[in-house]
């Protein structure tokens, strides 16, 4: 048995500590610090609820595009673009779009004037291209701006 009681850490039935600093307290302190850091991080990340998505804007854009497609499928849009009759185009779109939507249309080649479009509203812009009417090349763009009635 060549191991003495002093090397083993025991002196006549009494247990001696081998290390001067207690490890259990330091480990507990580290765990508490880690838990508090995780809690602070979770509170910081999730303190604001996520914003609700705005479905109204995308719905209005789809309605505007569908109104232009409907007029195009009927054959009215290309005729009105060929004649550059914005007033009649706006009257026909007015009959299709819901009441809460206000809009402005412009028939143009490349850049459209946004003179009657409000600056203090969320405005949706839709471009629809008309290439020809019967045998005539038109090459025009219909720009439709939609916003909510306030």
DSSP per-residue codes, 75-132: THHHHHHHHT-HHHHHHHHHHHS-TTEEEEEEEESS----TTS-SSS--EEEEEEEEE
For residue 86, the enclosing domain spans 55-148
Same domain, 34 and 77: no
CA distance 34 to 28: 10
Paired tokens of 148:
């909510």
Same domain, 110 and 60: yes
Same domain, 33 and 90: no
Indicate the helix (H) or strand (E) that contains 42.
Answer: helix 23-45
How many domains would you assign to the chain? Answer: 2
Same domain, 60 and 97: yes
Same domain, 41 and 61: no
Same domain, 28 and 85: no
30-50 per-position pLDDT tens digit: 999 999 999 999 999 888 887
50 inside domain: no
Same domain, 38 and 61: no
10 inside domain: yes
32 inside domain: yes
Q: What is the mean pLDDT of residues 122-146?
A: 83
14 inside domain: yes
Same domain, 41 and 72: no
Q: 106: how many CB neighbours lie within 10 A of its CB?
A: 18
Paired tokens of 139:
């090459």
128 inside domain: yes
The three state secondary structure string of 25-41 is HHHHHHHHHHHHHHHHH
Checking if the pLDDT of 58 tops 80, the result is yes
Average model confidence (pLDDT) for the chain? 82
pLDDT at 91: 92
26 inside domain: yes
Indicate the helix (H) or strand (E) that contains 61.
Answer: helix 55-74
67 inside domain: yes
Same domain, 78 and 135: yes
Same domain, 141 and 78: yes
pTM above 0.95, yes or no: no
β-partners of residue 144 are 105, 126
Same domain, 40 and 62: no
């Amino acid at each position: 048995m060549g191991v003495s009681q002093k090397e083993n850490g025991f002196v006549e039935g009494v247990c001696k500590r081998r290390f001067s600093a207690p490890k259990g307290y330091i480990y507990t302190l580290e765990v508490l610090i880690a838990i508090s850091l995780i809690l602070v991080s979770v509170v910081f990340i999730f303190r604001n609820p996520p914003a609700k998505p705005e479905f109204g804007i995308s719905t209005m854009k789809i309605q505007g595009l569908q109104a232009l497609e409907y007029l195009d499928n009927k054959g009215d849009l290309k005729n009105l673009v060929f004649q550059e009759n914005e007033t009649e185009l706006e009257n026909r779109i007015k009959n299709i779009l819901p009441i809460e939507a206000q809009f402005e249309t412009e028939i143009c080649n490349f850049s459209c004037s946004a003179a009657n479009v409000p600056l203090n509203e969320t405005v949706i812009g839709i471009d629809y291209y008309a290439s020809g009417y019967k045998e005539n090349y038109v090459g025009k763009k219909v720009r439709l701006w939609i916003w909510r009635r306030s």
